[in-house]
Chains A and B, each alone.
Chain A
C-alpha cells in the first residue's frame, strides 16, 4: 500500500499558504449541490459543520448525544494554546511548533504541526468574536497562563471551563446554521458503519437511539469527528459514552489506524478509591502552575502530610528537572509519579497517590487569589473526596486521559479512503507520541474551522455534483444496514451471564496493567492472549437485555465494547511492534539508567499505520516515515 501524506513542497513556513493556493476550489454556486456528512459535533465536528455550512455546503450532522452541547469537549478544563505572544515573553509560531514537536517526542509530522501553530491565533480571534468569555486582565486584554512543556505563557482560558465555553461557541455557530437550514442535525443518532461505493466514502448507517431504527444517509464526503478512545481502559477521564465505534468501523472498512498505542496518561487525577468507580476525574494541569508535587523521602512514611517536615519531603519533579520543575510534560510527570509509588513512597490509603500541595502558593498569593484561579477545581476535589485542598494537599495519581493515536489522515485530513476524513481527537495527526496540555482544543478547532473548509473543496471539485451521486438505495447501503442489524441481533441473542460492564472492566484491567503507563514485551504478549480470551467470552457470555426497537442503553454499550476489545488487541500489537520508548509509549526495556525514555530514531521514526485484514486475522503494519527537515532530533530533555 502506498501512503501519500500529501505534505506540500517548500519551506516549512510557506507550506500551508502555498497549499491553500494550490487546492482546487468549488465555485460558490456549486457548493449547494454537495452534501457533507459530519459525524460528531464536539469541538471538531461543530466547528467543521458550521464553517462548511457558512460556505454554502449542505451538511448533515450526527451525534449520539441529545444535544451537541454535551460532547466530551465540554469537560476540557485548563485552556487552549495559541502563539499570540500577547505576553511579550518570546512566543512565536515557530516556538509553538517546536514545543509541540518536541513535546510529542519527535513522532509527529513537521508540516502538520507548523500549520497547527500558524492557525492557532485565528482560533482565539474566532472564539472571542463568538462571545467566548476568556479570562481577562483589568485593562480588558486577554489573560494567559502556562502549561506543561512550555516556558512561555500562551494558554488562553475561561476559568476551569475552557472546553465548555469553546464548545458553546462552536455550538452557537452550528445553531445559526441549523436555523438557516444549511445544517440538518440528527441527535441521539449513532453511526454504526461507513458505506463505501467504488472505494469512496458515500455515506453512513445509523441507529436512532430512541426508536432503534436503522437508517442510511448518503453524501459526497464523510467527516468523522468522533473523539478519542481512552475508554478502552474502562476507567479514564473521558466522558462515559466516549467510544471508538465510528473510527473502528471505518477501520474495518479499510481506513488505516495509526499509532494506536500512544495513550496519554494524565498526571493529575483524583486517585481510584474503589471497585465501584465508574470514571476518573481530572484535576487540570493548570494546577501545576502553583501546586508543588511531592512524596515523603522515606519509604512507608505514614504520617499525615502536615506532620512531615520540609526536609523529609521529596519534591521529586523540582529535584530531577531543574528547568521545567513541576511543569514537565505529562508523560514525564506521570512516569515519575509511578516510579515514586513503585518505590513504596506513595501516599494515601492505597499508596497509589502523590501530593499536589498549594500551601506555598496560598502563603505567597493568599487564598482569595488561588480560589479565583482554581476555585471550581478545588470545589470539585472537595465534593469527590470530602477533603479541603486549601487545608490539605491534594492527592493525585495518573489516569488515562487522551489518545494520540487515531485514524491515519494525510495533510488534507483525508484518510486513505477517498472522501472519508477524520478531525479532532479521532485522527492521529498532530501530537506525535505525547500531546502537550491545551493543544487538543487547539487541534480540534484548527481542523474544524481552518483546515477542512479549505481541503475538502479540493476533493469535491474533482467530482461532478450532478451526475456523481449515489443514493441510499445502492446495494452497498443495504448490505451495510444488514450487517448492522445482524450484529445487533447477535448481541441481543447471546443472553449469557456477564454484563457488558463486567467484560469492559476485565478489558480495562488488562489494558491498564500491560499496556498502560509502562509496557514490556512479555506483558504485552500476556495481554494479547488475555484479550483474545475476553473477546471469545464476550461473544459467548455477554448479556444484553431488551430489544432493538427501544431506547436500550445496554445495547449501545455492547456495540461499543465489542469494538473496544478489538481495538485493545491492536493497541497491544502496536506497542509490541514499537521497540523503543517515546512519549506516552514507555517500554521498560528501553530506558536510560535514570529511567528516561530512550527513542530509537534510526528504526522507529515512523507513523505506524495498521490495515485491517478481516475477522480473526493479524493486521498488517505499514509505515509512514517521518522526515525532519527543520528540527534536529535530540534527546528530549526537561532538566
Chain B
C-alpha cells in the first residue's frame, strides 16, 4: 500500500521544526514502527537523516513509543503505536505524525520528547518505604482478589504519556492517579497514603503539567484503558491529606 506521510522534523530542542512530506510503499501487515523503519532505511540509503523516534519492546508494554498520529496519541486504535498495524489505514491515505506536545515534555529531536517529569513525580512518592530484607512472608498480607485485581488495573499504566498528549491542558492527572491508586488500594500502601498523594501532586504541579477539567480524553486515548475513577480516588486522598497533614514531628534519636 502507498502512503503519504507528513512527519515533524526538528533537529534539536532549540531548532525550529516543520512537517516534511515523505512517501512510502509498504505491506499492510507491518506495524506502524516497521513502516517507519522502512522509511528510515530508505532515507539512510539516500544519505538523509533518519527520523528519530523512541521505541523498544514493540510489544505494547515498555511505554517508550509515542507519536501523535492524525491528531490522536498512538493513532486510531486503542493501543500503543508499536502494536498499531498498517491494515488499519487505507491505501493512498495521508498520515500526519507529530511528537507528544506538552510543556512538561520538552522535545529532544524529531519525534522524541523528554518524559523524565514522570520519573520525578515517582521520586516524590511513588513507592512503599520498605528496605530489602525487611518484608514479612508474602502470605501474611491477605488481599481479597477483587481488591488486588483493582490495584492491578491501576498498576497496568505503562507511563507512555498518551494521557498528557491527549489532554487539551496537558494534564498528567491520569498517570499520577494511576500510581497513587495502585498503592492506595493495597494494604501495603496505607501507611504513606496521604503523604504520597500530597508529594506526588506537588511534584506534578512543579513540573508544569496543566489542570484537569474532567473531559476524559486521557482515559479514552490510554492504550491500557486506565480508568478515570483513579482520578476521583486521588482527589479524595489529596483533599484528605491537605486537611489532615501535620508537620512531621522531630523526634530525638536518644543516646
Docked pose: A127 CA to B41 CA in angstroms: 42
B251 interface residue, CB < 8 Å from A?
A: no
Tell me if B148 and A133 are in contact (CB < 8 A): yes
A84 interface residue, CB < 8 Å from B?
A: yes
Tell me if B56 and A499 are in contact (CB < 8 A): no
Task: Please give the residue numbers on chain A whose beta carbons come within 8 Å of chain B beta carbons, in ascending order.
Answer: 47, 50-51, 54, 65-72, 74-75, 84, 86, 122, 124-131, 133-142, 158-159, 161, 163-165, 168, 171-173, 175-176, 178-179, 185, 187, 210, 239-241, 273-274, 276-279, 281, 380, 383-384, 386, 449-450, 453, 497, 499, 501-502, 543, 545-546, 550-551, 553-554
Tell me if B85 and A66 are in contact (CB < 8 A): no
Tell me if A122 and B62 are in contact (CB < 8 A): no
Cβ–Cβ < 8 Å partners of A65 in chain B: 56, 64
Cβ–Cβ < 8 Å partners of A84 in chain B: 138-139
Tell me if B58 and A499 are in contact (CB < 8 A): no
Which listed residue (A129, A159, A384) contacts B130, Cβ 8 A? A129
Which listed residue (B49, B122, B135) contacts A546, Cβ 8 A? B49
Among B114, B148, B189, residue most surrounded by chain A Cβ atoms (within 10 Å): B148
Tell me if A131 and B152 are in contact (CB < 8 A): no
Which listed residue (B49, B119, B138) contacts A142, Cβ 8 A? B138
Tell me if B145 and A140 are in contact (CB < 8 A): yes
Docked pose: A36 CA to B25 CA in angstroms: 50
Cβ–Cβ < 8 Å partners of B156 in chain A: 161, 164
Cβ < 8 Å to A, chain B residues 15-51: 26-27, 29-31, 33-34, 37-38, 41, 44-45, 47-50
Tell me if B50 and A168 are in contact (CB < 8 A): no
B116 interface residue, CB < 8 Å from A?
A: yes
Which listed residue (A139, A179, A545) contacts B50, Cβ 8 A? A545
Indicate whether A383 sits within 8 Å of B79 (C-beta atoms), given known contacts A240-B56, A545-B50. yes
Tell me if A128 and B37 are in contact (CB < 8 A): no
B193 to chain A, nearest CB (A): 12
A384 to chain B, nearest CB (A): 7
Indicate whether A551 sits within 8 Å of B45 (C-beta atoms), given known contacts A69-B159, A278-B37. no
Number of chain B interface residues as a range: 35 or more
The count of A-to-B residue pairs whose CB atoms sit within 8 angstroms is 212
Indicate whether A136 sits within 8 Å of B136 (C-beta atoms), given known contacts A75-B61, A179-B124. no
A176 to chain B, nearest CB (A): 4
Q: Which residue of A lies closest to B12 (CB)?
A: A550
Which listed residue (A136, A210, A386) contacts B148, Cβ 8 A? A136
Tell me if B27 and A274 are in contact (CB < 8 A): yes
Docked pose: A187 CA to B116 CA in angstroms: 9
Docked pose: A499 CA to B37 CA in angstroms: 12
**Beyond known contacts A130-B127, A178-B123, A239-B62: 15 more, CB 8 A cutoff:** A65-B64, A72-B56, A75-B57, A126-B132, A128-B138, A131-B155, A134-B138, A136-B144, A159-B152, A168-B155, A185-B119, A241-B56, A276-B26, A450-B133, A543-B47
B162 interface residue, CB < 8 Å from A?
A: no
B27 to chain A, nearest CB (A): 6
Indicate whether A75 sits within 8 Å of B59 (C-beta atoms), given known contacts A67-B116, A553-B50. yes
Indicate whether A239 sits within 8 Å of B56 (C-beta atoms), given known contacts A66-B115, A172-B122. yes
